[in-house]
Amino acid sequence: MNPTGQPFQPPFADQQPPPRSAKDELNVPSILLLISGGAGVLFGLWGLIMGGGDQEALNAQLSDPNLAPMKDFFIGLANAQRPISGLSVLVDGFVIFGALQMRALKFYPLIIASLIVGFLPRGACCCCLTLPVGIWALVVLMRADIKSQFN
C-alpha cells in the first residue's frame, strides 16, 4: 500500500511522448518499398531477357493431343510475357521513385499515386510485400500531422 494514500502512478505518467517526425514514421515502410520495388525490377528485367522462354520446348510440351484446345492460349500467354515484364519494370520503377520521394518528404500526391499503382498485380511475388507495406504507408501518410510535414 502507498503510505501517502495517493494512487500509485509511474513518474512522468502525465507527460505525453514527443511526436515523431514524418521521416521517422515513414522510414521502415519506405525501405521495404525500395526493397520490394528493386526485387520487382529485377524480376521484370529477367522476364524481358528470357521472353517467352524456349519456343521449341513449349511446342514440344504442347504437342500432346489432350492440350490441343488450349494450345493457342498457352502460346499467347508465352508471347505476352515480355510486355507484362516491361510493364512490371515501369510500375516497380515508379514505386521506387515514390519511396525515394517519401524518404525526402516531397511530392505528396505522387507518393500516393505510386503506392496505389504498386497495388496492381504484376506477376511477381513482390506484390505480396508491396501490398501490406503500401497500406501501412498510406495509413501513416493520411495522418494530418504527417501530411503537414511535406513540402
Sequential pLDDT tens for the chain (151 residues): 566 766 666 666 667 766 778 888 999 999 999 999 999 999 889 888 877 666 666 666 667 777 767 777 777 777 777 888 888 899 999 999 999 999 999 999 999 999 999 888 776 666 677 888 999 999 999 998 889 888 7
Closest C-alpha among 21, 10, 38 to residue 99: 38
* Residue 36 covered by a domain: yes
* Residue 13 covered by a domain: no
pLDDT at 61: 66
* Residue 17 covered by a domain: no
* Residue 39 covered by a domain: yes
Residue found by looking up cell 522510414 in the block:
27
pLDDT at 78: 72
- Please tell me the total count of domains within the chain: 1
pLDDT at 79: 73
* Residue 65 covered by a domain: no
**Cα pseudo-dihedral 86, 90, 95, 98, rounded to 10:** 170
Closest C-alpha among 125, 129, 123 to residue 99: 129
* Residue 10 covered by a domain: no
- The parent domain of residue 97 ranges over 22-60+70-147
* Residue 51 covered by a domain: yes
Contact by Cβ (8 Å): 29, 133: yes
* Residue 11 covered by a domain: no
pLDDT at 56: 67
First to last CA, the chain: 53
